[in-house]
Amino acid sequence: MASSVLSLASATPSASLSSHEISKGKLNLGSTSLCFSKEKTNPFIKTKSFGRVSMVVASNVSRFEGITMAPPDPILGVSEAFKADNHELKLNLGVGAYRTEELQPYVLNVVKKADQLLLEKGENREYLPIEGLAAFNKVTAELLLGADNPVIKQQKVATVQGLSGTGSLRLAAALIERYFPGAKVLISSPTWGNHKNIFNDARVPWSEYRYYDPKTVGLDFEGMISDIKAAPEGSFILLHGCAHNPTGIDPTPEQWEKIADVIQEKNHIPFFDIAYQGFASGSLDADASSVRMFVARGMEVVAAQSYSKNLGLYAERIGAINVVCSSPDAAARVKSQLKRIARPMYSNPPVHGARIVANVVGDPTLFKEWNEEMEMMAGRIKNVRQKLYDSLSSKDKSGKDWSFVLKQIGMFSFTGLNKAQCDNMTNKWHVYMTKDGRISLAGLSLAKCEYLADAIIDSYHNVS
């Protein structure tokens, strides 16, 4: 079954070909055939010439026959499945995206205002420099590190605008692959589903450190510390700046200090993924305190930022990679190499989201309003968290302690439900969630808390 035919105009048949194959002028390689130039041209076959090699493609079969179907993405695939469900009670708690109490997407008022300003200004659509919009890079580093952080004044920070959090992490991964060959990245167990994909695709070796303890439904601090200690010296330790995804469990300030001690002792490099600044506590400064503490110790730090969640700019793909270096010279060189990585990957980043961030952060009135809106969003999530806990506690007569729901912070709750129980949540109750047991409280309303509590209690007690 020759599904496609490749004609090599100048190829000489190799000695290993059978005379039958040579006389037919055709070598069948599973679903692909090589066809040599002696074969007469078939009028039903299209020929494409690429210099000396011409490709002959049968019009009814694909050259991509050998490509298998990829599985749906464990997080974004949930939204696709949700869309395909017509049940009236369906609930999408998969992706971490903020919804209103009416479960509608939310565009922040400050974003609308910044959009209006941009429209009035009539900004052009010229290419940005490879490193992104200068005004954005300035404010994003200030937002992360604090405007008066000495490392900013001393020009020790290499900041490059990235394609949101994911793209910024991917740039850092490429930098590690290129300049720290063989260095490992340690990621928490569990972590955001895409971390492993990012490092796999960048060919950066990774392993996991203990983080979540199912027995206490809390942080396995001892395990975390000993795994970081045991990692080869000079490893990159990936840390969630705040609102750990998926567990919603963050180290305490004292624990952060101890984590920094071990990282410093082992000459590791802290690598922050901070995708929820402002969403954990409602305060941008408080949520960046982990990153700032490492920097204050004089450590070199890598930090990927995202404005998907805190400014609701999901589709604008706006974020940044920051590398805090011990000298301005090192920062300049790191920045030049990040640009070198970005150029052949996507050339330069999109401008609109960068302008929105620069306008909101750079304008004191808009900045104040943004903080208020963020507090409102964080507050709404705290309210549904409380209501979900109340519903679970009052409905479940088994005596199970559901207080972990209240202890977790950020957009998510890590329910501890196993895969079969998660399947029950979706198949029976039409509650869409990731199979690691995570639910996005940002997609939950007060009105749906009781229904969700019924679904969780049923899945927890009746499915093993």
Binding footprint of ligand KET on the chain (CB under 6 A): 75, 95-96, 164-166, 192, 194, 240, 245, 273, 275, 306, 308, 314, 319
- Would residue 220 show up in a list of annotated catalytic residues for this protein? no
For residue 324, give both structure tokens.
């805090």
CB of 273 to ligand KET, least distance (A): 5
Nearer to ligand KET, 144 or 457 (CB): 144
Nearer to ligand KET, 35 or 431 (CB): 431
- Would residue 273 show up in a list of annotated catalytic residues for this protein? yes
Gap between the Cα atoms of 120 and 117, Å rounded = 5
Answer whether 87's CB lies under 8 Å from 81's CB: no
Gap between the Cα atoms of 451 and 462, Å rounded = 16
From the list 26, 309, 387, 435, the catalytic residue is: 309
Phi, psi (degrees; rounded to nearest 5) at 47: -115, 135
Nearest to 183 by CA among 194, 174, 196, 191: 174
Nearer to ligand KET, 166 or 445 (CB): 166
CB of 55 to ligand KET, least distance (A): 37
Nearer to ligand KET, 36 or 212 (CB): 212
Gap between the Cα atoms of 36 and 13, Å rounded = 8
- Residues sharing a CB contact under 8 Å with residue 379, sequence separation 6 or more, in sequence order: 282
CB of 446 to ligand KET, least distance (A): 21
Gap between the Cα atoms of 271 and 46, Å rounded = 51
- Would residue 192 show up in a list of annotated catalytic residues for this protein? yes
* Torsion sign across C-alpha atoms 448, 249, 411, 289: positive
Nearer to ligand KET, 5 or 378 (CB): 378
From the list 220, 273, 287, 436, the catalytic residue is: 273
CB of 37 to ligand KET, least distance (A): 49
Gap between the Cα atoms of 128 and 420, Å rounded = 48
CB of 259 to ligand KET, least distance (A): 17
- Location of structure tokens 């000459």: 267
Nearer to ligand KET, 314 or 429 (CB): 314
Gap between the Cα atoms of 442 and 130, Å rounded = 34
- Residues sharing a CB contact under 8 Å with residue 80, sequence separation 6 or more, in sequence order: 72
Nearer to ligand KET, 7 or 245 (CB): 245
CB of 94 to ligand KET, least distance (A): 7
- What's the DSSP call for residue 447? G
Q: What are the residue ranges of helices labelled H in 13-52? A: 19-24
CB of 289 to ligand KET, least distance (A): 17
Q: Cα(first)–Cα(last) distance of the chain, in Å?
A: 47
From the list 156, 192, 402, 429, the catalytic residue is: 192
Gap between the Cα atoms of 444 and 198, Å rounded = 29
Q: Label the pairing between strands 53-58 and 206-210.
A: unpaired
Gap between the Cα atoms of 287 and 285, Å rounded = 5
Catalytic residues: 192, 273, 309
